[in-house]
Amino acid sequence: MTKTLADAQALYEDHLRQAGKAHATIIAYTKDIEQLIDFVGKKGKTQVDEVNQTDIEEFKEQLKKNRYTGKSVSRKINSIKSFFRFLIAEGYIEDNPADDIAHPRYDQTPPRVLSKIEYRALRDAARGDARMAAIVELLLQTGMRISELASLQMEDLDFERDVIFIRAQNSREARKVPLNDAGKKALMDYLEVRPRTREKTVFLTKTCRPFLVRNIRTAIDRYFRLAGIRDAKVNDLRHTFIVEQLKAGTPLVYVSQLVGHKRITTTEKYLKLIEQPEMEPNIQIEEL
């Protein structure tokens, strides 16, 4: 049973969606496969059983020549391996041409953790905006993902028990995280000025629409600049929460549960960071 690569790509995309993969993951993996299809298409290959190991090795070499980073090449290889495993499972091919494809070696950049001076500067920069102050505080105090924060509903906030319910997302399980005094105060200050609307999403725009992930990310990046913090990203707030919890002696397993890591080995990687002295803050004071 033969299948064109284009048809197989569409089936693979449906498979990822049904498996509950994140939207960003689906886009990234299908784009990677599309790149491979374009590459072998120039060699006249359009069927799934025509692609061999040499084709994939040549594709990998072309990526390197086009100056893709080792990390990007490695991700594309993951996508390709996953694609051909799917084709075997569905009975479209018998042998996996990607089995023996090796990942390139590359140095993994350790997670960026904000210093105390940096995250205090970020808080100060956002202090005049109740909504952004609450967002920054929640990310720092709970370690939740930005997508989880954007999805928060009013009914997910339990001020009596001081917990926040994080809903299941894609393949991630639901969980509860404690809400400490700093996070609770910032959140309640925001709710006092939150637009009066039937919309149940916690964080809203001025037009009472849900505050989308990409817009939250852009807003936080702006406050990083206002605070003079360089080379920082939204996910660094989550990294900072994890490291601060481990420094405080919070059990590794509990921290892993708090932030929703699927594997405790993911949390263990942060242990190396607490053994190092705190880095000098990467702050640049801007002239007003």
SS (H, E, C) 28-65: HHHHHHHHHHHHHHCCCCCEHHHCCHHHHHHHHHHHHH
Residue 39 lies in a domain: yes
Residues 62 and 127 in one domain: no
Q: Is residue 104 part of a domain?
A: no
Rounded to an integer, what distance in angstroms lies between the CA atom of residue 226 and that of residue 182? 22
Instruction: Find the CATH number of the domain harbouring 37.
Output: 1.10.150.130
Could you tell me if 39 and 127 lie in one domain? no
Span 132-149, pLDDT tens digits: 999 999 999 999 999 999
Q: Are residues 77 and 191 in the same domain?
A: no
Residue 97 located in a structural domain: no
The pair phi, psi for residue 49, each rounded to 5°, is -85, 5
Sheet containing 175-178: order of strands: 157-158, 163-166, 175-178
- Residue 149 domain-assigned? yes
As given in the structure block, the two tokens for residue 70 are 């080792």
Q: Is 198 among the domain residues?
A: yes
Q: Which domain holds residue 185?
A: 116-274
Continuous segment of H or E residues that includes residue 244: helix 235-247
- Which among 143, 163, 165 is positioned nearest to 239, based on CA atoms? 143
Which token pair is 234?
């939204």
Residues 79 and 156 in one domain: no
**Same domain flag for 184 and 266:** yes
Please report whether residue 183 resides in a domain. yes
62 with 186, same domain?
no
Q: Are residues 120 and 254 in the same domain?
A: yes
What burial letters (b/e) apply to 188-218, b meaning 16+ CB within 10 Å?
Answer: eebeeebeeeeeebbbbeeeeebbebeebee
Q: pLDDT per position in the chain (288 positions), as tens? A: 568 999 999 999 999 988 877 777 889 999 999 999 999 999 999 999 999 999 999 999 999 999 888 888 999 999 999 999 999 999 999 989 999 898 888 767 788 999 999 999 999 999 999 999 999 999 999 999 999 999 999 999 999 999 999 998 877 889 999 999 999 999 999 999 999 999 999 999 999 999 999 999 999 999 999 999 999 999 999 999 999 999 999 999 999 999 999 899 999 989 988 865 454 444 333 322
139 and 261 belong to one structural domain: yes
Domain count, the chain: 2
User: Are 146 and 246 found together in one domain?
Assistant: yes
Whole-angstrom CA distances from 18 to 22, 23, 26, 39, 278 are 11, 11, 11, 27, 43
Task: Render the burial of 44-66: b for 16+ CB within 10 Å, e for the rest.
Answer: ebeebbbbeeebbeebbeebeee
Task: Say whether both 125 and 201 belong to one domain.
Answer: yes
Residue 107 lies in a domain: no
CATH number at residue 159: 1.10.443.10
Beta strands in 125-194 (DSSP E): 157-158, 163-166, 175-178
Residues 158 and 65 grouped into a single domain:
no
Q: Reduced to 3 states, what is the DSSP secondary structure of residue 204?
A: strand
Residues 139 and 237 in one domain: yes
